Structure 1
C-alpha cells in the first residue's frame, strides 16, 4: 500500500474511534467533535490576554492601522484574482507541470514541487499563523471589552487545521461597530506582521548564510 492509502485508513479508524467515544459520552468536557474534526477548548490564557490588553490606546491605534491593512489586502486580492482570471482566459497557458491542478495545491506529497519531507515545516508554519491570528482576535476582544469565553484548536487526527477564539455573543453585540471591525481585522494584521518578519529573515540572515556557503 502507498502512504496515502495508509493515511486514509488511519484517518478512517480515527474517525470511527472518535464517533464511538462521542456516542458513549466518553470525551472530556473540553473536547467536542464534528465528523473527523476534534476541537479542544480551554479557558487558560484569559488572564494573559487581560494583562496584555491594558495599553488600550496603543492597541486601538494598532487596530485602526489593521483596518487599513485589511482593506488594502482585500482590494489587492480581488484585483489580483480578477486580472489573473482575465489573463488566463485571454491567453490560456500551455499545459505543463507547473499548471497541473495537483501542483496548485500546497500539500506536501501531492504537489510535484513539495515532497512529503517538508510536511513538518508546513504544519509548523500553519500552526504559528493560526496561533498569531487568533491571538490577535482574542487580544482585541479584551481591548474592546468583549468577553472571551474560551480559546482552542481544531484537529484532524494530530494535524492542526484551525484555531479559534470564542467571544461572548452578548458582549460582542454591545460593542460598537468600530470595536467589532478592529477585532475582526486584528488576525489579518498579525499575520501581516508574521509575513514581514519571515521575509526579513529570508532575505537577511538566511540569504546571507546561503551566500557564504556557496563561496
Structure 2
C-alpha cells in the first residue's frame, strides 16, 4: 500500500498464472477484437448523449439538483442522489466497475505478451473506490496496433456487459423495474420533491439496489471512458483507428495529425460536458 493526497493505493506487482492461462486462449482474442467495435459504437453514443445534454442545458431556464457540482461525484451522503444508506451498493458497484475494466486491460496486455509492472485500486479516504489502474510495461508501445486496440478497448466492453446483465436482473419479476428504481433515486430533482432517504433504499430492497447501481455506474464508467478524450481509452482508440484507417486507405495519417484530431475532440467533449452540467447555473 501507499498513500497519496486523501487517497490510499492498494497495489501489487505480481500477476497470476491463471491470468496468463485465460489470456492465451484463442477465444479471448476474438472477444477483445469485438470490444474494439463496441468501444467505437459507444464513443458515438456517448458523444450524442453529451451533445444532447448540452443542448438541453442551454434551453433550461433554471438550475436543478442535477447541476449541483456536489452531485457530480459518487460519494454517498455528499451526492443528494446517493443517500448514505446506499453507500454499500454504490461502493460495491464502483469496485466491480473498476475490477472488470482494469482486469480486461490486464488480460489483454498478457495476451499481447506485455508484462504488468503494477496494478491496483485507488481508494478515496481509504474506502471509496476512486479508480483502478494497470501499469503495463513499456513494451506495450512496441506491440502491434491490433494488440494495442484490444488493450485499450476491452475495459469499456466489460463495463457495458455488466450493465446489460444487471439490466436483465431488473427486468425480473422479483425486482423493481429500471424505470421505477431510477424515478425513486432521480425523479425528485425533476418534480421538485425531497431527495431519496434511507427509507427509499430499504423500500427498493437489496437485489434491486445492487442491480440498479451496478447498471448505472458501469454504463457511466464505460461511456465516459469511451469518449474521445486523450487521457481516456476512447482517445487512444481514436488515435489508433485513425492510424489504421490511413494505412488501409493508402494515405498514412501522421502522428501530429492524429494528436491534433484527438486534442480537438478532447477540448470539444470537455466543453460540452461543462455546458451540460453547469450552463443552467449562470
Say yes or no: TM over 0.5: yes
* Contact kept? 1:148, 1:167, Cα under 8 Å: yes
* Contact kept? 1:39, 1:153, Cα under 8 Å: yes
* Contact kept? 1:46, 1:148, Cα under 8 Å: no
- 1:32 positional shift: 2.8
* Contact kept? 2:15, 2:116, Cα under 8 Å: no
- 1:179 positional shift: 0.5
Taking structure 1 as reference, are residues 205 and 164 closer, same or farther at Cα in structure 2, changes over 3 Å only? farther
- 1:184 positional shift: 0.7
Taking structure 1 as reference, are residues 110 and 73 closer, same or farther at Cα in structure 2, changes over 3 Å only? same
- 1:96 positional shift: 4.4
Q: What secondary structure is seen at the aligned counterpart in 2 of 1:207?
A: coil
Q: Which has the larger radius of gyration?
A: 1
CA distance, structure 2, for counterparts of residue 83 and residue 208 of structure 1: 28
- State which of 126, 137, 146 in structure 1 corresponds to 2:105: 137
Which aligned pairs between 1:29-48 and structure 2 lie closer than 5 A? Answer: 31-48=1-18
CA distance, structure 2, for counterparts of residue 98 and residue 163 of structure 1: 26
Gaps of 5+ in 2: 178-282
- State which of 83, 103, 125 in structure 2 corresponds to 1:115: 83
Q: What secondary structure is seen at the aligned counterpart in 1 of 2:175?
A: helix
- 1:60 positional shift: 1.6
CA distance, structure 1, for counterparts of residue 74 and residue 3 of structure 2: 26
CA distance, structure 1, for counterparts of residue 45 and residue 62 of structure 2: 26
CA distance, structure 2, for counterparts of residue 100 and residue 176 of structure 1: 44
**Alignment correspondent of 1:68:** 37
Verify: 1:201 aligned to 2:172, yes or no.
no
* Contact kept? 2:23, 2:108, Cα under 8 Å: yes
Verify: 1:150 aligned to 2:118, yes or no.
yes
Aligned residues: 177
CA distance, structure 2, for counterparts of residue 59 and residue 203 of structure 1: 29
RMSD in angstroms over aligned alpha carbons?
2.3
Q: What secondary structure is seen at the aligned counterpart in 1 of 2:172?
A: helix
CA distance, structure 2, for counterparts of residue 84 and residue 122 of structure 1: 24
Q: What secondary structure is seen at the aligned counterpart in 1 of 2:79?
A: coil
CA distance, structure 2, for counterparts of residue 105 and residue 40 of structure 1: 21
Taking structure 1 as reference, are residues 207 and 83 closer, same or farther at Cα in structure 2, changes over 3 Å only? same
